[in-house]
């Protein structure tokens, strides 16, 4: 088995999860406590990757990233970067595709905190940002951990979008899910099984870890 | 509605679905999809029977057939895959070649006069699409052409692999790559007409793309047996040959 597609998969999942964590923290906070018009629209947009077929996202990204259309042409003239068939393109696609998996658990975690926690922090003279980073976030660690791991696992499982905009380039865009698909097409069931088993085992282990850790953390917080 | 009546309704509904049909399903390699549309129309006109076409890459269709997909005839892009099915007992008859495929170089951006394999090494060409050579015979042929023209080493890093000939065509027509390799039948189809420029590549630069079809197994009492045989025969008829030629097959 060539380990490259697996390595690429985990690289993609790690980079995507880190970027999304940075983006999702303020976004989740805004959605949890912000008062603004058009909330429904924003929430719908963020949640769309949950229900949209990846082929829809892949199709629009293929057009958006193409140098024949304005966005792709603009990026290429600006940075000399062609997003389609590139690793950076996959990262952008994955960030869009996994967005709700990061935002939703964190928002739910923030909302489940008692309002008195924030109020106490404000009363003690902390401003909004200090309250967020020093009080709220440390109190929803399980939610953040869940969000991070689910995002990671979901990106590992990404297939449809990569198939459409990846171009199957070894070492660049040929991630494990696509490699499995290829091996099955080439009738190499043995090789497909090797990749599939690794993904199967690793996904199980990371989910097992997160749920065990979460159960322990939650048990500590909940008075029995 | 009480629960019994609901189940009765449901059962009747299901029974309606499972009525044996004589409509056959032809698994079709992506490069022949447009030709098959015409062949299907001709066959249906001639016999009054209906056929369904399922399009995919030959590799994927072969896997599906191996795992029991209910297809009746398999029209492949090569001979290797149908041979594989025959060897595994999926058919009582050896596959037969119905046409020879022709490889083209296709571009939306490069003018026809400048279009050739050597130009692909130019710095202005950033990405080149070919069908995945591991699973698609046209991709294999493209690699052979690149190697025989001694440009493979130079352009290897620019290659992008389509899952099938259809996806490769989509990469080319959407402008995501500057040029790509494809089947003549695709650029000649009404759907792809006027989508850029193409040149037919010298057929001595690659091994002939021998496209074969295979009649898949049927039980003796299957209502689809007769239509499948009829269609399989039609595929090798003079009429079908003329349609294949119209689409650039030899």
The answer to whether residue B3 scores a pLDDT higher than 70 is no
pLDDT tens, B84-108?
A: 999 999 999 999 999 999 999 999 9
Closest partner residue to A169 among B57, B66, B160, by Cβ? B160
pLDDT band of residue A67 (cuts 50, 70, 90) is confident
User: Mutating which of B78, B109, B143, B174 best tests the A interface, going by the most A Cβ atoms within 10 A?
Assistant: B174
CA distance B47 to chain A (A): 34
User: pLDDT tens-digit profile of B25-58?
Assistant: 999 999 999 999 999 999 999 999 999 999 988 9
- Name the token pair of A146: 């869940």
Answer whether A134's CB lies under 8 Å from A117's CB: no
| Residue B222 backbone dihedrals phi, psi, to 5 degrees | -65, 130
- The CA distance from A202 to A208, in Å, is 10
Note the pLDDT tens digit of each residue in A20-48. 999 999 999 999 999 899 999 999 999 99
CB contact (8 A) between residue B126 and residue A163: no
Q: Is the pLDDT of residue B6 over 90?
A: no
For the segment B128-183, what is each residue's pLDDT rounded down to a tens digit? 999 999 888 999 999 999 999 999 999 999 999 999 899 999 999 999 999 999 99
* Contact residues on chain B for A184, CB-CB shorter than 8 A: 60, 63
Instruction: Report the mean per-residue pLDDT for chain B.
Output: 91
Phi, psi torsion values for B20, nearest 5 degrees: -60, 135
Cβ contacts of A169 on chain B, cutoff 8 Å: 159-161
């Amino acid at each position: 088995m060539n380990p490259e597609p697996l390595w690429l998969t985990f690289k993609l999942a790690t980079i995507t999860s880190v970027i999304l964590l940075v983006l999702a923290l303020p976004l989740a906070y805004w959605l949890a406590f912000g008062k603004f018009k058009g909330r429904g629209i924003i929430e719908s947009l963020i949640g769309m990757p949950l229900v949209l077929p990846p082929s829809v996202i892949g199709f629009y990204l293929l057009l958006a990233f193409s140098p024949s259309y304005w966005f792709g042409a603009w990026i290429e003239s600006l940075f000399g970067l062609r997003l389609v068939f590139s690793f950076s393109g996959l990262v952008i696609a994955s960030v869009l595709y996994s967005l709700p998996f990061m935002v939703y658990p964190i928002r739910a975690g923030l909302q489940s905190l008692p309002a008195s926690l924030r109020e106490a922090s404000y009363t003690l003279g902390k401003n909004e940002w200090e309250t967020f980073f020093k009080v709220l976030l440390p109190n929803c660690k399980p939610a953040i951990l869940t969000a991070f791991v689910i995002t990671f696992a979901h990106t590992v499982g990404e297939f449809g979008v990569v198939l459409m905009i990846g171009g199957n380039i070894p070492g660049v865009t040929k991630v494990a899910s696509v490699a499995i698909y290829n091996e099955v097409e080439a009738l190499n069931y043995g090789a497909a099984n090797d990749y599939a088993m690794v993904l199967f085992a690793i996904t199980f282990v990371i989910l097992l870890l997160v749920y065990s850790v979460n159960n322990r953390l939650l048990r500590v917080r909940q008075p029995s | 509605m009480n629960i019994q009546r609901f189940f009765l309704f449901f059962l009747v509904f299901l029974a309606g679905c499972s009525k044996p049909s004589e409509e056959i399903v032809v698994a079709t390699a992506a490069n022949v999809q447009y030709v098959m549309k015409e062949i299907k129309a001709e066959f249906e006109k001639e016999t009054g029977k209906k056929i369904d076409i399922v399009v995919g890459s030959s590799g994927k269709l072969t896997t599906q057939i191996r795992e029991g997909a209910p297809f009746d005839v398999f029209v492949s892009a090569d001979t290797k895959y149908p041979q594989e099915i025959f060897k595994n007992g999926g058919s009582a008859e050896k596959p037969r070649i119905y046409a020879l495929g022709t490889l083209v170089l296709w571009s939306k951006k490069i003018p026809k006069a400048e279009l050739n394999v050597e130009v692909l090494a130019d710095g202005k060409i950033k990405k080149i699409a070919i069908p995945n050579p591991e699973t698609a015979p046209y991709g294999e042929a493209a690699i052979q052409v690149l190697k025989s023209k001694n440009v493979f080493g130079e352009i290897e890093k620019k290659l992008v692999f389509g899952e099938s000939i259809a996806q490769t065509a989509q990469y080319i027509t959407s402008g995501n790559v500057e040029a790509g390799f494809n089947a003549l039948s695709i650029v000649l189809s009404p759907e792809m007409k006027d989508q850029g420029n193409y040149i037919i590549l010298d057929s001595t630069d690659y091994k002939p793309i021998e496209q074969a079809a295979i009649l898949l197994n049927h039980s003796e009492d299957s209502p689809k047996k007769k239509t499948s045989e009829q269609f399989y025969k039609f595929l090798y008829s003079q009429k079908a040959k003329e349609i294949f030629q119209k689409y650039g097959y030899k």
